[in-house]
Amino acid sequence: MVGLLGTLRRNVASYLAGLVRQWDEFWFQPEDPLALGFLRILTGAMLIYTHLVWGIKLEAFLGPNGFQDPLLVKVLEPDSTAWTLWWLVPDAYMGAAHWSCIVVLVLYTLGLWTTVTKWAAPLITISYANRAPNANFGLDQINAMLAIYLALGPCGARLSLDRVWRVYRHGVRSLQEQQCWSILPILPSSSARLVTRLIQVHMCVVYFFAGVSKLKGDAWWNGEAIWMALSNAEYQTTDMTWLAWYPWVSDVATHSTTLWEMTFWVLVWRPTWRPIVLFVGASMHVGIGVCLGMWTFGLVMIFTYVTYIPPETLRRVGHWLAGALSVAAPVSLTIPQGSGWRLRWVAWRKATDLRNRIELVASEPLLNASDRKTLLVVPAPLSFITSAEWWAAHKHSITSWPFADCDRMDIRRPRIIIVHAVLDTLTTLQNYFLSKGFDCRAVSSLSATCAALFDRPTDALLLMSQSSLEVDEILLFRNILSQASAHAPVSVTVLPKFLHDHRCESSTEHLIVVGSATLRELRTELTRALLERTCTEEEAMALAGTLGSRSPSSASNSLGPAPSIQGSLRLFKGGYPTAGSVGESFIPSPNDRLRQ
């Protein structure tokens, strides 16, 4: 009985710990703030437009003798905590206050002084909305929601003038001190994740209640609702009366709208369904814009979908936009000595170089001849490789990576590099792989990985990631490896399950493991990738002998005898082996391979 209670307690504790971990990952897993940058620009542009339109009839809508005088507003919302800054503005200064707000919103959109303007934007938005409550609709609600949530996160960390300024200042320092350009890394942020999730979940609430509230009416059941909305002459911008002869169109659209709104909050979290759900939603909002003239509302709803787009896709969009905006031809600039205005000018040009078209050349050689040869193929000093942009910018040079010329694998003792950000885990991993016969190096960043790759030939990499930004960089790195050369190191990349969205396909030499994995599973995957590279029987047997002999206690789970290895090699070429065809758990079945 006591044992049963103990087991029950352990299970409950384990379950609760799992819940806490999932909650933590969902809301606080550090994330690239790129989506917030995009959203700040889109929201800011909408806020500027919305407030410019208020300004056309400012006195009529916000004035003391307008459509909604102060008495009416106070009677409308008695004992309310709704507030507006307009009560503080004297009538004579309404115009000045309005244009000041527009200026602040422009700065917000451009991303200048965002630590201040990101708080000013929701203050302005709510002030206008609460001053004219009878002239509001869904647009104002979503505007305010986005402005408030964006203020809680680092919305100016990317795609902003603030970012350009920070890069410039960092660049000036690095040029002065080290005569080379250093990319200022963008750190993943828990608050960026929090804001992204707030918007996502808020939109789920919006759509769910939009759908549920429709069930109160008859028209959403009998299929006439869409007809009724589209035949409203005051909303209509396109003649849709032809629908009267095709009532089934209205029926389908009515039921689809309700069904979509009520299931959005479930389906949008499914990677398979998400593109479909968002496409249907965007189509619906565009339809509202075309048929009912509510373009602003439709667009601002679509803007919120940015938070559902994977960071990698957003990054590609960013690079594409940068290419579209930058027409400058590649240019080489010499880094001036000292700290004068010429150096600052060079730093400014490099900071605003969206496409990385500007190459900076040191005025004096920093390295000896052999090092310069290396730098010819890798144009930036390795110690400054910190961001995904660098990897993306230099993908074209992958065919001439230094490790493309490395020797064949040292079959006696495979050289591996383990990459993990957490020192304790890194030490555990290194000790384990050393004990299993690997010549193992442990590093905690991609820049250190590069340095280690240059240092000596390497057979395999074990890349482990935790955060979303790290995932993007590691996946880029892995992709470059997989395309680099037949002699590049093989790799095993471990991704957290919640961040894996099938952006990368696992290959036989560059495996991807999703979710949790034991040390033995990691070793199995790594050895499997290494075996794929060893083409001759002698190499395979030597590898088996080396690694197997270091682990006598688990020999049956290790590489096994040579015939099995030959069998596994043969089967690897043609796909996964079936259970029992090769040595036991060395090559697990596909179901066992990844612990989802």
Window 168-227: residues binding another protein (CB under 8 A)? 194, 198, 201-202, 205-206, 209-210, 213-214, 216-220, 224-225, 227
Q: Report residue 585 as tokens.
A: 């758990």
Q: Is 76 in the site for another protein (CB under 8 A)?
A: yes
Residue 412 is classified by DSSP as T
Residue nearer to another protein on the CB measure, 214 or 274? 214
Crossing angle of helices 114-131 and 94-110, rounded to 10°: 140
Q: Is 496 in the site for another protein (CB under 8 A)?
A: yes
Residue nearer to another protein on the CB measure, 83 or 269? 83
Q: Is 69 in the site for another protein (CB under 8 A)?
A: yes
DSSP character string of 191-257:
HHHHHHHHHHHHHHHHHHHHHHHHTTSSHHHHT-HHHHHHT-TTT-SS--GGGGG-HHHHHHHHHHH
Range 370-402 burial, b when 16+ CB lie within 10 A, else e: eeeeeeeebebbbebbbbbbbbbbbeeebeebe
Contacts with another protein in 132-151 (CB under 8 A)?
A: 132, 134-141, 144-145, 148
Between the CA of residue 363 and those of 176, 180, 360, 409, 574, what are the distances in Å? 12, 10, 9, 40, 55
> How many Å separate Cα 473 from the centre of its chain?
11
Contact stretch for another protein (CB under 8 A) within 109-117, 352-360, 404-412, 514-522: 514-522
Contact stretch for another protein (CB under 8 A) within 93-101, 161-169, 359-367, 551-559: 551-559
Q: Is 459 helix (H, G, I), strand (E, B) or coil?
A: coil
Residue nearer to another protein on the CB measure, 27 or 273? 27
Contacts with another protein in 1-40 (CB under 8 A)?
A: 20-21, 23-25, 27-30
Q: Pick the binder of another protein from 160, 296, 527, 546 (CB under 8 A).
A: 296
Contacts with another protein in 218-277 (CB under 8 A)?
A: 218-220, 224-225, 227-229, 231-237, 241, 243-245, 247, 250
Q: How far is the CB of 219 from another protein (least distance, A)?
A: 4
Contact stretch for another protein (CB under 8 A) within 123-131, 341-349, 562-570, 571-579: 123-131
Q: Is 442 helix (H, G, I), strand (E, B) or coil?
A: strand
DSSP-assigned beta bridge partners for residue 358: 331
Residue 500: CA count within 13 A, CB half-sphere: 18
Q: Is 424 in the site for another protein (CB under 8 A)?
A: yes
Q: Pick the binder of another protein from 50, 109, 114, 534 (CB under 8 A).
A: 50
Q: How far is the CB of 300 from another protein (least distance, A)?
A: 11
Q: How far is the CB of 244 from another protein (least distance, A)?
A: 4
- Tokens 């900071």 — which residue? 351
Q: Report residue 457 as tokens.
A: 């030939």
Number of residues that bind another protein (CB under 8 A): 108
Residue pair 188/468 in contact (Cβ under 8 Å)? The answer is: yes
Q: How far is the CB of 35 from another protein (least distance, A)?
A: 19
Q: Pick the binder of another protein from 1, 2, 5, 75 (CB under 8 A).
A: 75
Contacts with another protein in 84-113 (CB under 8 A)?
A: none
Between the CA of residue 465 and those of 24, 62, 110, 440, what are the distances in Å? 17, 53, 33, 18
Q: Is 506 in the site for another protein (CB under 8 A)?
A: no
Q: How far is the CB of 383 from another protein (least distance, A)?
A: 24
Q: Pick the binder of another protein from 383, 554, 581, 589 (CB under 8 A).
A: 554
| Distance, CA of 243 to CA of 254 (rounded, Å) | 13
Q: Is 591 in the site for another protein (CB under 8 A)?
A: no
Q: Pick the binder of another protein from 238, 272, 368, 518 (CB under 8 A).
A: 518
DSSP-assigned beta bridge partners for residue 416: 440, 460
Contacts with another protein in 571-590 (CB under 8 A)?
A: none
DSSP-assigned beta bridge partners for residue 45: none
Q: Is 596 helix (H, G, I), strand (E, B) or coil?
A: coil
Q: Is 81 in the site for another protein (CB under 8 A)?
A: yes
By C-alpha distance, which of 416, 458, 420, 456 is closest to 439?
416
